[in-house]
Amino acid sequence: MAITASKSNVIKGGVALLAIYTGFFFLISGKEGIENAVFQEPVVARANQGSFNISIIESGILEARRSVTLASDLPSNRAKIIFLKQEGATVKPGEVIVKFDQAPFVEDIEKLAAEISDASAALAQAEEEFQLAIQQGRASTESRLHNVEVAQLKHRNLKQAELPLRLAKSKNDLQAAKEKYSLAKKNAKSMKDLLDQGFTKRREYEQAKAAISESGTALGLAKQQDKLLREMMAPGEIRQSELKLTELERKVVEQGKVNQHKLALKNAVIIRLNHRYDALKRSLLSAKALLDKTIIKAPVPGFVVYKTVSVQGEMRKVQVGDSVWQHNGFIVLPDMSEIVTDLKIRETDIAQIEVGQTAVIRPQAYPNLLLSGRVETIGTLATGKDEEMPRFLVRIAIVDVDSRLRPGMTARTRIQAAKLEDVVRVPVEAVFYSGDQAVSFLWKMNKAEAVAIETGPSDGQFVVVTKGLSGGEKLLLHDPREVLGSL
């Protein structure tokens, strides 16, 4: 068979000959002749000129923007599960996720209702006793005020009527006794004169003298009685009347204090019963609120995800029959109405990322599903410093959420960083390196020719060539040096 051959560039150690035959080529090397021949169909691509979208492609995990953790609000571990929504189920807002046993809380409500009824009856009785105490106190006060009024009338009558009359009578009696005594003396003197003249008997004279003694005694008694009345009895009776009036007025004041004390005691009982009644009502409201909390409903749409928690001394997911502790979240409800994916962008690419740039997301589970998104945040601190190249966290917000998406799915994201016009781009497979120098292999006239190039941005599939190519060239997509090196 006929073979045409041409000498190629010296690429790597030794002399290599590139021979072409009927659309195939083989490499021949060796000092003495053909030692080995490898036939291979050349794979080529063209360097294209035109616009180029600078894209950055990374993989990330789809996550809900926010997740709601569900926990029991029932005290201690009184929340015994009797119903659980199946894990992985899709739920809508208001849909029941968990039910706890209501029996203990219904029992608490019934007990509190009975205690409230008793407290209400006791409060009503205390209020009735309070009103009765008011009426009794008012009656006692009115009675004592009446006694004071009577004593005031008697005192006034004593001073203004009774004593003045008695003093006047005593004065009159004393005056009458004086006149009787004076008359007796005059009568005795007349009888003495008549006796001396012999006109009367001595017996009559003696009777006249006895009348003087009798009227004198009566006069002395009248004087004593008048003095006693004026100096002792009248002032004494007035003082006694005043003391009695003062005592009755004091009893009115004391009765007022007694009434106030009794009412204060009754009111204290009412206040205490009111406090108990109000406390029981608050407890009843709390018990009813706890009863309402025996049902947990979905606050947001999402998927039911069980958490691993401590249950009866072991770490596992909850199940029907378990009792869970208060505020210990045991179900997570990712809200899949808003989905994000966090990407770790290489340090060399982070300068091309800006907030608001568009992105295309392709979930691995649905290769034909393309979602749109945008750059929402760019991390300021590098992560993975122990890795070969530091990376920065970039969050992508997915705009058009699909109902098939699930949290934890892997997705490949392409960020549209920029668009270059009138540039040369080649497949990344057409770029090789000789040390730090990037090279491509032109395919001309059935020959491979190495060309030094300078590269620019890459989207992972294509790379921009800023120097060395003008567009339209055919480029090998394999490194011929590898074949030469194996000969």
Whether 38 has a pLDDT exceeding 50, the answer reads: no
Q: Do 150 and 271 lie in a common domain?
A: yes
- pLDDT for 486: 46
Local confidence band at 482 (pLDDT 50, 70, 90 cut-offs): confident
CATH code of residue 429? 2.40.30.170
User: In this structure, is residue 25 part of a structural domain?
Assistant: no
Q: Do 146 and 243 lie in a common domain?
A: yes
User: In this structure, is residue 202 part of a structural domain?
Assistant: yes
- pLDDT for 457: 82
Residues 163-192 pLDDT 10s: 999 999 999 999 999 999 999 999 989 988
User: In this structure, is residue 394 part of a structural domain?
Assistant: yes
Q: Do 235 and 264 lie in a common domain?
A: yes
Q: Do 278 and 316 lie in a common domain?
A: no
User: In this structure, is residue 20 part of a structural domain?
Assistant: no
User: In this structure, is residue 86 part of a structural domain?
Assistant: yes
Task: Indicate the number of domains in the chain.
Answer: 3
Say what percent of the chain tops pLDDT 90.
Answer: 64
Q: Do 139 and 222 lie in a common domain?
A: yes
CATH code of residue 111? 1.10.287
Q: Do 426 and 367 lie in a common domain?
A: yes
Angle between helices 103-157 and 234-292 (to 10 degrees): 170
User: In this structure, is residue 19 part of a structural domain?
Assistant: no
Local confidence band at 405 (pLDDT 50, 70, 90 cut-offs): confident
Q: Do 114 and 231 lie in a common domain?
A: yes
Q: What is the 3-state secondary structure (H, E, C) of the chain?
A: CCCEEEECCCCCCCCCEEEEECCEEEEECCCCCCCCCCEECCCEEECEEEEEEEEEEEEEEEEEEEEEEECECCCCCCEEEEEECCCCCEECCCCEEEEECCHHHHHHHHHHHHHHHHHHHHHHHHHHHHHHHHHHHHHHHHHHHHHHHHHHHHHHHHHHHHHHHHHHHHHHHHHHHHHHHHHHHHHHHHHHHHHHHCCCCHHHHHHHHHHHHHHHHHHHHHHHHHHHHHHHHHHHHHHHHHHHHHHHHHHHHHHHHHHHHHHHHHHHHHHHHHHHHHHHHHHHHHHHHHHHCCEEECCCCEECEECEEEECCEEEECCCCCEECECCCCEEEEEEEEEEEEEEEECCCHHHCCCCCEEEEEECCCCCCCEEEEEEEEEEEEECCCCCCCEEEEEEEECCCCCCCCCCCEEEEEEEEEEEEEEEEEEHHHCEEECCEEEEEEEECCEEEEEEEEEEEECCCEEEEEECCCCCCEEECCCHHHHHHHC
Residues 411-449 pLDDT 10s: 999 998 878 888 999 999 999 998 889 999 999 888 889
Q: Do 308 and 364 lie in a common domain?
A: no
Q: Do 254 and 151 lie in a common domain?
A: yes
Q: Do 317 and 255 lie in a common domain?
A: no
CATH code of residue 89? 2.40.50
Q: Do 254 and 310 lie in a common domain?
A: no
- pLDDT for 41: 58
Q: Do 56 and 154 lie in a common domain?
A: no
Q: Calculate mean pLDDT across residues 198-203.
A: 85
- pLDDT for 31: 38
Q: Calculate mean pLDDT across residues 82-107.
A: 93
- pLDDT for 143: 94
Local confidence band at 337 (pLDDT 50, 70, 90 cut-offs): confident
Say what percent of the chain tops pLDDT 70.
Answer: 90
- pLDDT for 387: 60
The phi, psi pair for 480, rounded to 5°, reads -65, -20
User: In this structure, is residue 381 part of a structural domain?
Assistant: yes
Q: Report the candidate in 154, 156, 151, 163 with the shortest Cα–Cα distance to residue 244.
A: 151
Local confidence band at 305 (pLDDT 50, 70, 90 cut-offs): very high
Q: Which domain holds residue 300?
A: 72-100+295-329
Local confidence band at 13 (pLDDT 50, 70, 90 cut-offs): very low
User: In this structure, is residue 2 part of a structural domain?
Assistant: no
Is pLDDT larger for residue 118 or for residue 462?
118
Local confidence band at 317 (pLDDT 50, 70, 90 cut-offs): very high
Local confidence band at 275 (pLDDT 50, 70, 90 cut-offs): very high
Model confidence, pTM: 0.54
